Amino acid sequence: MIILGIETSCDETGVAICSDFKILSSYTKTQSIHQKYGGVVPEIASREHEKYLPNITNKVLNDANVRFKDIEAIAVTNGPGLMGSLLSGISFAKGLAQALDIPIIPINHLEAHLNSVFIDHSELEAPFINLLVSGGHTQLWLVKSMFNYELLGETLDDACGEAFDKGAKKMNLNYPGGPEIENLAKNGNKDLINFPRPMINDNSFNFSFSGLKTSLINCVNEDNYNFQDIAASYQEAIVDTLINKFIKAMDKFSVDSGIICGGVAANTRLRKKLSELDKKIIYPSMKYCTDNADMIAFLAEHKINNKKINFDNDFSAYSRGMIT
Ligand code: KG4
Ligand code: ZN
């Protein structure tokens, strides 16, 4: 089956073609325009999606040597995400589906992330603990099998990517803040400032990063430390907090394998610390960690294959919401 996937939940415009569970071609445009504002501007993000979707779709079709009339279904992210961005992708997908007279499959962005590891690791078998760490989410999931997931915990306030982004902004660094802080931290002392490791002693699998961000702001305002040391110590606190809950979840549910996805999974300090533990940790390849349409088309094909789909083009976007 040939499926065209569309992802526009935030500031990445992604289009991909999946056929027989293989990605034939894909393209993701990261909207760099937001950098000068220090964060994603929702109104601009929607316009950018609308502007680029037609050309990206043509490119992806050409690259795969697939014609419009070969497409058998369209998969599109319908939530959670920024409302305007989602609607740009959905409107484009609906128009195309109607013109081609083919079905359209709404896909939950989080469910797509959870399954993205299977795109290039088809040999893997659940159960896993999946730590989903992006600019908008920090969640711990028990993945029992494809289509069978349990949310164990999530952030009660800021996402960990947001903690990186907001911390970076306070230190006058560019957006996105994660790579900037990571870079600055290389020359800093991670043990100099004892930032809090929020909620690591409670029994839940929830997280909280807004207090940590406030500690950083206080530290910057005090003017006693250089930014390299602040960055290194701050990164260490975020990484320790994530690892603490991730490993606790693996132990509690006696699950051998852990998966990390989302943009923060790129963090080399996180990877280094995890590699020092006696645990099997798997990372989807980087292009599948960050937002992409490959995972949208891929999950849609699995849903069709497993008859988990009611074809009904009458759906809309939702900004918040769980996997149903
Ligand atoms: O998954 P993603 O590309 O987009 C969504 O938010 O959905 O994640 C972006 C987040 C940003 O907060 C960014 O600062 C963070 O991932 N990030 C990193 C690194 N690279 C990206 N955080 C820490 N270290 C990195 N190397
Ligand atoms: Zn995402």
pLDDT tens, position by position, 23-64: 999 999 999 898 888 888 999 999 999 999 999 999 999 999
pLDDT tops 80 at residue 158? yes
Mutate to test the pocket of ligand 1, among 290, 296, 320 (most ligand atoms within 8 A of CB): 290
Residues 258 and 140: their CA atoms lie apart, in Å, by 10
The ligand 1 atom at the shortest distance from the C-alpha of residue 160 is 12
Per-residue confidence (pLDDT) for residue 283, from 0 to 100: 93
Residues 114 and 103: their CA atoms lie apart, in Å, by 24
Residues 224 and 200: their CA atoms lie apart, in Å, by 27
Per-residue confidence (pLDDT) for residue 146, from 0 to 100: 85
Mutate to test the pocket of ligand 1, among 264, 267, 269 (most ligand atoms within 8 A of CB): 264
Ligand nearest to the CA of 28: 1
Nearest alpha carbon to residue 107 among 289, 299, 291, 290: 299
Write down the residue that tokens 């911390």 correspond to.
Answer: 167
The ligand 1 atom at the shortest distance from the C-alpha of residue 161 is 12
Are 101 and 74 in contact by the 8 Å Cβ rule? The answer is no
pTM, full prediction: 0.93
pLDDT tops 90 at residue 313? no
Mean pLDDT, range 128-132, rounded to an integer:
97
Per-residue confidence (pLDDT) for residue 308, from 0 to 100: 83
Per-residue confidence (pLDDT) for residue 294, from 0 to 100: 98
- Stretch among 97-106, 234-243, 288-297, 307-316 having the lowest mean pLDDT: 307-316
The ligand 1 atom at the shortest distance from the C-alpha of residue 109 is 7
Total count of residues recorded for the chain: 324
Ligand nearest to the CA of 265: 1
- Stretch among 30-44, 159-173, 265-279 having the lowest mean pLDDT: 30-44
> Hey, what are 173's tokens?
């660094």
Per-residue confidence (pLDDT) for residue 156, from 0 to 100: 97
Are 174 and 35 in contact by the 8 Å Cβ rule? The answer is yes
Q: Which residue has the higher pLDDT, 311 or 243?
A: 243
Confidence of residue 312 (pLDDT cuts 50, 70, 90): confident
pLDDT tops 80 at residue 321? no
Neighbours of 28 (CB within 10 A): 17
pLDDT tops 90 at residue 99? yes
pLDDT tops 80 at residue 124? yes
pLDDT tops 80 at residue 310? no
pLDDT tops 90 at residue 19? yes
Are 89 and 315 in contact by the 8 Å Cβ rule? The answer is no
Nearest alpha carbon to residue 255 among 111, 151, 141, 159: 141
Residues 229 and 235: their CA atoms lie apart, in Å, by 10
H/E stretch holding 210 reads helix 210-222
Mutate to test the pocket of ligand 1, among 30, 116, 162, 164 (most ligand atoms within 8 A of CB): 164
CB-defined site of ligand 1, < 6 Å: 10, 134-136, 161, 164-165, 176-179, 182, 262-264, 266-267, 290-291
> Hey, what are 252's tokens?
């509690």
Print burial letters for 32-45: b (CB count within 10 Å at least 16), e (below 16): eebeeebbbbbebb
Confidence of residue 71 (pLDDT cuts 50, 70, 90): very high
Mean pLDDT, range 182-189, rounded to an integer:
98
pLDDT tops 90 at residue 291? yes
Per-residue confidence (pLDDT) for residue 207, from 0 to 100: 98
Q: Quick check: helix, strand or coil at residue 317?
A: coil
Contacts of 50 (CB under 8 A, 6+ apart): 88, 92
pLDDT tops 90 at residue 303? yes
* Residue 277 Cα to ligand 1 middle (Å): 23
Per-residue confidence (pLDDT) for residue 307, from 0 to 100: 85
The ligand 1 atom at the shortest distance from the C-alpha of residue 9 is 7
The ligand 1 atom at the shortest distance from the C-alpha of residue 10 is 7
Instruction: Tell me if the bond preceding 179 is cis, omega within 30° of 0.
Output: no
- Helices and strands (DSSP H and E) totals, the chain: 11, 10
pLDDT tops 80 at residue 322? no
Strands 148-154 and 138-145: antiparallel
